[in-house]
Structure 1
Amino acid sequence: MQDDQARQFRGKNKAPKWAKPDDGLVSVMVLPLSVTDPADLARLEKLFSAMWSIKRAVQQDARSRVDAYWAGKREREERGAKAVRQRLGLSREALERCAYQHLENSGHLKHHISKALAMHMADEVWTGVSRHLFPDAAGHRFGRPKVGNWHSFTHIPGRARSHTTENKWETFRLVGALHGHAATYADEGRRPLMQPRRVPKPTVPHGKVPTGKTTAVGKPGVRKANWWDHTGPLAVVFAGGPDSKRGDLVLPVRIPQGAGQWERVQHFLSTPSRWHKVDLVRRRKGGARGGWVYEAHLMVLGPGHSSASVRAMRDKAASLNRIGGVDGNVSNLSIVSFPAQLAGGEPVSTEVTLSDADRAQLEQQAKKQRGRARALERSRRASNTAQYGLSKKQAMRAARRTAKGLKPKTVTAPGGARAARADGAPKQAYRRDRLSTNYQELRARQAEHAAGISEYRRHRARRVAREIVAAHGPVLVVEDCDIRTWYRLWGKRLSQTTPGMLIAALKAECEAAGGRLLRASTWSTALSQHCLCGKRVTKTLRDREHTCTACGLAGKRDLVTAALAAFVQLTDEEDPKTARLDTNASRHAQITYSKALEEALRESTTPRQNTLRGADHVAVPRRSRGTSAPRTAEWRLRATPDETRPQRDHAGTPGPRPGCTPHPAHGSARIKS
């Protein structure tokens, strides 16, 4: 009889809906976790393994449902797309119920994760599915949902805390207080923060605490102490897990320490009411136990932290009344700015190029990367000898030994092609190969190195963007180019230079300083094909110098294009197609700053910054093996202008090849003067 009754649901919340303060601004702080207990580390690994199983199962179901959705074209036309999605279960609620079903049907997953974690993992899968089903504002859809692999699974989303109910975290929670952490490891600030290598795991408080309420007989009420009463060192606690017999999973937190870190830590951790959500993240590290290190990503309500020097730099940039243009290409980044009223002051130009030290660093890192790739390939071949044939040299040696009647020599690492079918597909998939422990460690170190390079590129892009905005102001215009198409011709160079990352960092820095980076369409402006006087000067991609026969202006093509971008006007700032070039203003600037402009368009006028450590940094080379060279030998890492090292184009004449001139890489950028 109960089965016939309708399912009961909780009614709609009558309280006003909570909204994020400060216009929804959130920031993330990375807190490394110091997991030293083998039992806790094993539980954490099982937690990630169980969440990966749930995500893979939901992804496979979502992929099948998406295929069925697109296959039912006639049904979508007759019943409507929404009805078909409801029938197939293509919704957030349906995927959540799918995750619950997988969790209930499994016999072991219920011992490691909770339904709240399964629900949020299903929500994460639905985010990718919705981007495939529904187009964005530009009419583009994301590709068909794919099932990821184990090594790419690095993130477990947590559930946000309730800001309307006191002490309610349904998944991972951050307990403790910053003053308690400082009191434990810094003696309440009277000495520098020095955390031990093995951070001890805090314990739940004991005893009873008052509740603030009175009982029926008029006595003050008390309750048993719990994690909400913990005011000691910070820790991440997973208290809602199903494995209650083993207690809560407590992961000690190691806050960042070092020069300039304490102010940043106070900004994020001094106000617990701003803590919003905690996600568990793992990243590859070859030297760690198991090959992974774990972090807690704390989402905090409010803007991120900026140091006093950065804030002063942005305030100074906001006071600059200048207009500027940016020209980004494969080889460099050029910026030219003018006073906004074209009265007083001088034009300023900047070129971000690659120094000689950066080229040497790129070559060294590329050599290391090739060596790691060869080592991985040798390890795979040695562990799967049956899947590879002999190389020509190995086959000839085997034939000679057979002709001489010698015993065949065992080949530990065959160098031939992989065994494949007639259509070229391998007989055994690569994912089914046997991989040695050395291979796993080497691959972890390779991933760790790649992640470090990516993080350094982002840091460098932010630093270069601050220097550009401080010199040219926060109001800049750049051409609206799809950098993804450049990878067809200059993919390898772009992977080193990342011009898109530089422009994205410049956009964020302009907005932080109170300005904006506008985009102008290349079709309506054609900046590279015009002169400041208004005359059209046709140039091919090979032509890197601008020479106007009408006004006699000569300079670098990229700098002239950046100067013209400063005089672009947009009817709608959100639509790059509404951009047009104001030739009257550009001609007026050319007349006003005749000599200064010619000088700025020939060379950069900003101060030189050759390397990250300064122009006078001295590097000491390593002693070569087998030589008696003294260790006091020195040389200076000084970068020379590009004009001192002319390149040759395809025709053999001096000059840079199109798109192949030096460009800032992940090493230290140089603002050339």
Structure 2
Amino acid sequence: MQAAQTRRKFRGKNKAPRWKKPDDGMVSVMVLPLAVTDPADLARVENLFGSMWSVKRAAQRDARAKTDAYWSAFHERNEDGAKAVRQRLGLSRESLERCAYKHLEDAGHLKHHASKALSMHMADEVWNGVQRHLFPDATGKRHGRPKTGRRQDFTRIPGRARSHTADRKWETFRLVGSLHGHVMAYTDGGQHAFAQPRRLRVPAAPSGVVPTGTTTASGKPGTRKATWWDHTGPLAVVFAGGPDGSRGDLVLPVRIPQQPGQWARVEHFLSNPGRWHKVDLVRRRKASAPGGWVYEAHLMILGPGYTSPAVQQMRQRAAGMDRIAGVDGNVSNVSIVSMPASLAPADGEPESTEITLSPAEQALLEQAAKKRRGRARALERSRRATNTAQYGLSKKQTRRAEHRASKGLTPKVVTVPGGARAARSDGVPKQAFRRDRLSTEYRGLRARQAESAASAAEHRRHRARLLAREIIAAHGPVLVVEDCDIRTWYRLWGKRLSQTTPGLLISALERECTAAGGRLVRASTWSTALSQHCLCGERVKKTLRDREHKCIACGLAGKRDLVSAALAAFVRFADVDDPKTAYLDTTASRHAQIVFAQGLEEALRESTAPSQNTVRGAGHAAVPRQRETSAPRTAGRRSRATPDETRPGRDHAGKPGHRPGRNPQLTLW
């Protein structure tokens, strides 16, 4: 009887309907910087990240061992089935969650910083990677074997989504306060302009009692103790109580963007608390910050992200453009050619755009590469200086030591050995690199290197978005591109591709086409062979070295990439979703060549350079504007310009029928 009374109780099946995301299923994320300035809060946040990294690493090791055992049980999977083997080994989301709970309970110090809810979500993150490895996707591909990451790469603690059926229920990180209260707190009640100080004050927890809206049995209004749900002041992220509740709430004040052009975006995300869905705690490398990290809260809301009115108008205009366009992605450039879908001169003329690197941008890229090489050498010198026992002397250092010994001189202490690392006979280092001692200067330099790389990557993504929008505005949202796996190009042209990033731009084009109501369609290279054809329908064979197109049959001459882009506009599909069904409509291309004649030839000629606008290089370096002397523009329709459009820099007065601005050259940076 006593055993029956102490039996553990489980929650039964939920009788209420299960909550689902809205029909559109759209979610968006806003990054909210956290002002962590108190040393105690800073240490507590860092301990939280360290504890969650320990839980994630333990879960990853368990998942890796179970996955290896699953693939080793070949005969058992054939006899009993794969599902039975997974159940025996515990390869499921619930099993990984229980493993994370066990690691959290076995390590006593982790329970002072992390909670079971955070451990459960971390186990779910690990299971997502294992699931992509065990089960193929729609194309039949699997992800690689699960790996254990590095501590430096652990930058995100996933939070748990708030309950949309029960009021006031956030199980991990919660965003408290209101946008109105935040503005009132930093404008002295609306008397001054909105300005957040450098050091934000931590909001105090609400105190006292508040009415509940109900009445007691005696007829008096009911009250309850005030909680963070009653906080209407400045915005803050709260990790309530902690696992043991003895350390109090972790309160991190939020700093919202206060630039003039950001306010509409802030209102879109923060004005309606009912759309707030989840908060993730993220850290980002910054060498100048205390501890080398800055912390952010990634707020996910239910609904689309913010789009400025200018971008909305641009997409609406692009959606109304009745043009066909083709894209040719190359190692060193991306070319786009478009023309009216009706193939009538009255509806417009052919236009072309070539995206390439200018000499100024190439110089900036070389400077950035030189700086990266210098940092890599400095890191290597620092590691050798603090771990001299793991490295031998170089040939020069050995000869100098032998010379001093032959002369009877005192041996000279080598602070930075330049030889190879001490290794076994099979080439494996005797001491793992992770066990080396690292100096404070090494850690700071490594943080600056990671910060610079992240900044450069974000800048490239931002520039790709801007260029994609300008291309859509000039050529319309319906584009055709060859179905190429750009990852294979890195085997031959990896360094060049890292500078031009054509795959990044094509991905941005695909997203912008979808946002503008169009589509970026991919065509197979085997059934079209765009680079080996002419607009007249004849086959013109060219090697990779031949960058100019010259057709003997019709006399068309132009840049190979621009001709391929023009041909891509005339690709047709039996099934748009299947690139293998693509074929080239040579009748339409020949008709366009006859109708547009000189205008099409001009669009396929050499583009002019250089740019007279601001040129940005890797990261966020920039050079001042430079004005180029150019011939006066004649009357005629101009193509849409971009912030990095290249203007004519040569005198074309000797070319009859030349129309300036017909072939703008855009830059990638």
2:457 maps to: 454
1:224-239 matches, cutoff 5 A: 224-239=225-240
- Which range moves more in the overlay, 370-379 or 105-114? 105-114
| Identity in percent | 73
1:192 CA drift (Å): 3.6
Shift of 1:131: 0.6
Cα distance in 1, alignment partners of residues 189 and 515 from structure 2: 34
Partners of 2:174 and 2:456 in 1: how far apart?
Answer: 31
Moved more, 476-485 or 420-429: 420-429
- What does 1:655-670 align with in structure 2 at a 5 Å threshold? 669=668
1:41 is aligned to 2:47: no
User: Are 2:398 and 1:395 aligned?
Assistant: yes
1:333 matched to which residue of 2? 334
Question: 2:258: which partner in 1?
Answer: 257
Taking the aligned partners of 2:207 and 2:167, their CA distance within structure 1 comes to 21
Measured in 2, the distance between the counterparts of 1:409 and 1:116 equals 58
**Secondary structure in structure 2 of the residue aligned to 1:10:** coil
**Helix, strand or coil for the counterpart of 2:24?**
helix
Preserved CA contact (<8 Å) 1:171 1:240: no
Deviations 1:78-131 (A, max 9, x none): 100000000000000111111111112221111111111000000000000001
* Alpha-carbon distance in structure 2 between the residues aligned to 1:247 and 1:556: 68
Partner of 2:588 in structure 1?
585
Amino acid at match of 1:566: A
Partner of 1:137: 138
Aligned equivalents of 1:376, 1:3: Cα separation in 2: 63
The 8 Å contact of residues 277 and 300 in structure 1, kept in 2 or not, is answered as yes
Q: Deviation at 1:615? A: 11
- The ranges of structure 1 where at least 4 consecutive aligned residues each deviate by more than 6 angstroms after the TM superposition are 1-7, 605-609, 613-616, 637-644
After TM superposition, list the pairs within 5 Å mapping 1:36-435 onto structure 2: 36-187=37-188, 191-343=192-344, 344=346, 345-435=348-438
Q: Is the 8 A contact 1:62 1:90 kept in 2?
A: yes
Cα contact 1:179–1:188 (8 A) shared by 2: no
Give the letter aligned to residue 89 of structure 1: G
Give matches, 1:470-509, under 5 Å. Answer: 470-509=473-512
Q: The residue matched to 1:42 in structure 2 has which SS?
A: helix
Q: Residues 642 and 352 of structure 1: is their aligned pair in 2 closer, same or farther, counting only changes over 3 Å?
A: farther
* Aligned partner letter, 2:207: H
Q: For the structure 1 residues 267 and 609, does the alpha-carbon distance in structure 2 shift closer, same or farther, using more than 3 Å as the test? A: farther
Residues 547, 442 of structure 1: alpha-carbon distance in 2 compared, 3 angstrom cutoff: same
State whether residues 156 and 279 of structure 1, in contact with CA within 8 Å, keep that contact through their aligned partners in structure 2. Answer: yes
Whole-angstrom distance in 1 between the partners of 2:411 and 2:96: 58
Code of the residue aligned with 1:256 in structure 2: it is P
Q: Pick which of 597-606 and 249-258 moved more.
A: 597-606
Pick from 547, 560, 565 the counterpart of residue 563 of structure 2: 560
What does the per-residue CA deviation read over 1:496-537, in whole Å, with 9 as the maximum and x for residues that have no partner?
Answer: 221111111111111111111111111111111111111111
> Which residue of 2 is the match for residue 572 of structure 1?
575
**Kept in 1: contact 2:386–2:439 (CA 8 A):** yes
Question: 1:396 deviation in Å?
Answer: 1.5
Shift, 1:161, TM fit = 0.3
Q: Secondary structure at the match of 2:324?
A: strand
The match for 2:630 is none
Structure 1 letter corresponding to 2:187: A
- The DSSP-based 3-state class of the residue aligned with 2:246 is helix
Contact kept, 8 Å, 1:480 with 1:519, in 2: the verdict is yes
Query: How many Å separate the matches in 2 of 1:319 and 1:578?
Result: 27
What amino acid is aligned across from residue 161 of structure 2 in structure 1? A
Whether the 8 Å CA contact 1:349–1:603 is kept in 2: the answer is no
Structure 2 residue 25 is the aligned partner of structure 1 residue 17: no
Following superposition, the deviation at residue 394 of structure 1 comes to 1.2
Question: Could you give the per-residue CA deviations for residues 6-56 of structure 1, whole angstroms, max 9, x where no partner exists?
Answer: 975433323222222251101110111101111111111111111011101
Q: TM-score scaled to structure 2, two decimals?
A: 0.91
Secondary structure of the residue aligned to 2:604 is helix
Tell me which moved more, 572-581 or 365-374. Answer: 572-581
CA distance in 2, matches of 1:642, 1:507: 32
The 3-state SS of whatever aligns with 2:108 is: coil
Match of 1:59, SS state, is helix
Aligned to 1:396, the other structure's residue is in SS state: helix
Look up the equivalent residue of 2:215 and give its one-letter code: T
Contact 1:357/1:639 (CA < 8 Å) preserved in 2? no
CA gap of 1:448–1:404, structure 2 versus 1, over 3 A, is same
Shift of 1:550: 1.2
CA deviation digits over 1:560-586, x for unaligned, max 9? 100011111122222111111111111
Q: 2-side partners of 1:428 and 1:640: how far apart?
A: 57
Q: Tell me by how many angstroms 1:340 deviates.
A: 1.3
Matched, 1:617 2:625: yes
- Contact between 2:64 and 2:146, CA under 8 Å: does it hold in 1? yes
Residue 658 of structure 2 aligns with which residue?
Answer: none
Structure 2 distance, partners of 1:192, 1:483, is: 50
The CA deviation at 1:640 is 9.0
AA aligned to 1:130 is Q
CA distance in 1, matches of 2:115, 2:218: 39
Q: How many pairs does the alignment contain? A: 632
2:608/2:646 contact within 8 Å kept:
no
> Which 5+ residue runs of structure 1 have no aligned equivalent?
620-636, 645-662
Letter in 1 for 2:571: V
Contact kept, 8 Å, 2:360 with 2:615, in 1: the verdict is no
Deviations, residues 168-206 of structure 1 (Å, cap 9, x unaligned):
100000000111111111346664431111110001112
Aligned match of 2:598: 595
Give the drift of 1:395.
1.3
SS in 2 for 1:260: helix
1:225 deviation in Å?
A: 0.9
Report if aligned partners of 1:350, 1:605 keep a CA contact under 8 Å in 2: no
Whole-Å Cα distance in 2 between the matches of residues 595 and 67 of structure 1? 64
- Distance (whole Å) between structure 1 residues aligned to residue 529 and residue 645 of structure 2: 36
CA distance in structure 1 between the aligned counterparts of 2:291 and 2:33, rounded to whole angstroms: 16
Instruction: Write the distance in 2 (CA, Å) between the matches of 1:569 and 1:219.
Output: 76
140-149 vs 421-430, greater mean Cα deviation? 421-430
Q: Which amino acid counterpart does residue 366 of structure 1 have in structure 2? A: A
Alpha-carbon distance between aligned partners in 2 of 1:472 and 1:556, rounded to the nearest angstrom: 19
Q: Name the SS of the counterpart of 1:519 in structure 2.
A: strand
Cα deviation, residue 306, structure 1 = 1.3
The separation in 2 between residues aligned to 1:547 and 1:496, in whole angstroms, is 29
TM-score by structure 1 length? 0.90
Give the match's secondary structure for 1:136: coil
Provide the secondary structure at the position in 2 that maps to 1:24: coil
Aligned to 1:651: none
Change (3 A) 1:260 1:638: closer
